[in-house]
Structure 1
Amino acid sequence: MSKPKKEPIKNGKLWIVFGILFVLINPWYFPTGSYQPLFLGIPYWALIIIGASMLLSAFLTYVLKYQWHLEEDEEEQEKKEAK
């Protein structure tokens, strides 16, 4: 029996997380000319964007590694079982 393929594009929870991270990465919600307070000489909004970018990268890595199952994976597993 073949396992049904998971398709992340049909998972609503993943889209919600992508949406939240997208909003955090885009600085349109910060006030114009906002640069105070500074942390180690870096504006606070830059640190928020850098942190959100790192979270997005980690989340994409998780989705690609654990949620996205390709046909090649199944073919490799069948070859291992045949040996």
Structure 2
Amino acid sequence: MNKPKKEPVKNGKIWIVFGLLLAVITPWYFPTGSYKPLIFGIPYWAFIIIGGSFLLSAFVTYVLKNHWQLEEDDEEEAK
């Protein structure tokens, strides 16, 4: 038995996670001119942003797969 899928726009938890992930990938909280420590010649904040971007992509995929209603009700009834 499949649960009916809701529109994620009405789910507050999804918006909170989106907000947190967007805050992680926005470099406003890094000190100005910070580039040390370098990890393999890349500033540490670059790894934080890349990791946050990966998490954001994974979360968007999860939301689309599990929470988004992709088919209209008429199409579901026709199956």
- Look up the match of 2:13: 13
Deviations 1:8-53 (A, max 9, x none): 0111110110000010011000000000001111100000000000
Q: 1:73 to 1:46 in 2, by over 3 A?
A: farther
- Computed over aligned residues only, the root mean square deviation of the Cα atoms, in angstroms, reads 1.9
Match of 2:65 in 1: 65
| Rg larger in structure | 1
Structure 1, gaps ≥5 residues long: none
Same amino acid, percent of matched pairs: 74
TM-score, normalised to structure 1's length? Answer: 0.82
After TM superposition, the runs of 4+ consecutive aligned structure 1 residues lying more than 6 A away are none
Cα separation, partners in 2 of 1:73 and 1:51, compared to 1, 3 Å:
farther
| Unaligned segments of structure 2, at least 5 residues | none
Aligned residues: 77
